[in-house]
Structure 1
Amino acid sequence: MDRIDGLAHYRARFFGMHSVGLDDASGGASGANPVAYLDGNSLGRPTLASVQRITEFLTGAWGTRLIRGWDEEWMELPLRIGDDLGRAALGAASGQVWVGDSTTVMLYKLARAAVDSRSDRTEIVLDTDNFPTDRYVLEGIAAERGLTLRWIRPDHSGGVTTEQVQDAVGPQTALVLLSHVAYRSGFLADVRGITRVAHDAGALVLWDLCHSAGSVPIELDLWGVDLAVGCTYKYLNGGPGSPAFGYVRSDLQEVLAQPIQGWMGTQDIFEMGPGYRPAAGIRRFMSGTPAIVGMLAMQDTIAMIAEAGIEEVRAKSVGLTEFAISLVDEWLAPMGVTVASPREQTHRGGHVTIDHPDMRQVTATLWAHEVIPDFRAPDGLRIGLSPLSTSYVETYEGVAAIRDVLRGILLGRSGLLEP
């Protein structure tokens, strides 16, 4: 499978992978490098190009150009990277995407701007299984603005459906906030259908793209999306805590008032005037000084996605998750493991969650032996497969390790084997 994979050569562009051939049955283990890295949906591997880029930035652009770097490149970098990302992975025309603050802050800015623009409405629609930050941010905004939260309760192994949104929205709905790919189950939501339903009710929609950007094709302009936010340290390989991106549809940019007014979002940044005057276009949604160092690495993966094509990336992602599920069915289902993700590939993003009461212990044991999935309470182990850096051999070795550790735990409990 690795030999016929049209994207297999990209694996050599990641740190620790460049010396690994397709015949290496270890999945790329060398030194401290994991036997199998199954957590690319939480933190992607660094690219070799990014190692070089950051090193050269420290000694060059920052080290020698110093403050002049702002005039020469840095001031426009959040907008330039935003445009590149929009073209490569988001289906967004230029002038609508920027790289800014953390995902949490970006969610707050756009959600607060949205509800303030619908001041005659009193409700926000969200779901109980969304990532905690999304829920917590909206709880805070609802408390600030005296709004009511209307909760959708998705299926454990699924996600929010168009029909559920249809039942939840109404004339009082100001905003709908949902994730394109559910962080726990990997369910792939119908962005276009749900956005249409929300618009029919007169509401705005804010999509969380954290688990889809760089793995699943996205067409924000075509789908009529209002607002979107996504992180850059998962499939975009921006590094730990790299800043998030935001999308505001062009016709809404002059309508929405962003709530965190800072000097980077003003008409004349260096006027230092007595009052806040928002810049034209997407820059008005910037607040403070951009994290330039933090946004360097994502450029190299964005370029790879543009080169490979997001449709090809998605095809590899589907192949990897289908392969993982087939191994789970053969090896793990007889031990009581269930697949807690959609089995239909058109309803599934780039990761697979499997449930068993012992998965917390399984995950801890695997980490100690250089196999790295992650755990999500109460019983879920997530297998995150990053299409540009994960091989089929690595996937095989990873699921085999899950099988062996779980088997040891169950046999040890039965007294047939020392745990």
Structure 2
Amino acid sequence: MKQPISITAMSSISPLGKTPEDIWNNYKNEHHFFSKNDNNWVAKIASEAKIEIENLRQSNPKYKALDDSVIFAIYTSRQAIKNANWNASDNFGINIGSSRGATKLFEDYHKHFIQNNKTEILTSPTTTLGNISSWVAHDLQTKGPEISHSITCSTALHAMLNGIAWINSGMCHKFLVGGSEAPLTAFTIAQMQALKIYCHSERSKEPHPCQALNLNKTQNTMILGEGAAMVCLESGKQNNAIAKIIGYGYATETLEHNASLSTNALCFQRSMSMALGNLNPKDVDVIITHTPGTIKGDQAEINAIHTVFEKDIPALTNNKWKIGHSLGASGILSIEMAILMLQHQELIPVPYLDTKHLKKIDNILVNAVGFGGNAVSILLSK
């Protein structure tokens, strides 16, 4: 990169909570945040965040018809720009992604259609994917560019790439980027179960039902979680930066299967190498892996890491064992995890794996990939 991009603020809601203090404290323990919903493992946003989300929904008659994925995005976007001291006159850009979009609302509307052979009035405008960033822009009263997209599980990091591209082009000096996902519906879970990648309900006796990053597991253990996170990007080195983006990479590999990576995750090899640029691989202290808890997916990413870093493997960690896989929002929640580790200078370990001791943490690489091998790697520095 010719110049770094500063991250000047962040905000999130997830099973970990809604404040940096609560989120960090919850990362520090070895407990997961999974519960059973209709006998399926899920990870719901924290109860105090749920209350505030409902208060936001009731605060504006127009918001009552919106899906949780949109309300999550509005809530976290408000807090992020407040933390960054941005205002509408800055005309900052907005790029918020979601893998599934208005999942619950769409399913409710479709059920009504099947029963009545007609749809509700707001079915189309409240379920389109562009709905998310448009409503955030409306809520924040900004007049800058607003973009919504879906690139499955790497969606939020692709939003970050777009923000970086707009800033580097000089077309915009500030960008709000992130992801929002509310996928805890029976139909969405059934889709993952049909792929045979979802965690079996009988793992209730296990201390950690999701075994992300554990290469010795004998069954797939992915669990869906809900959440949203936003970060504020600004050009150059800013005095109020909480982290800097010093590298980025992206790649797409040829499809072998609709939902799989190649055995050695060629897309990750290319995205990580691109993100490293001229940086010595030895200078990467931590990699936050995408590893969703599936046998083949986890192994493929680790194979790619060993190919790129050879004998100098950084410390590896992940948050899906604790909060599940929030699909399009997962990458930005990993960015938040990285920022917290840089701030506190402490590795958040995976409890069932050996932990590499670190004296300091300077650089963290964050990975995400979606169905079809759409990989993104973001290199962060304190």
What range describes the TM-score normalised by the shorter chain of this pair? under 0.3
Larger radius of gyration: 1
Q: TM-score, normalised by structure 1?
A: 0.26
- Which structure: greater strand fraction? 2
Q: TM-score, normalised by structure 2?
A: 0.28
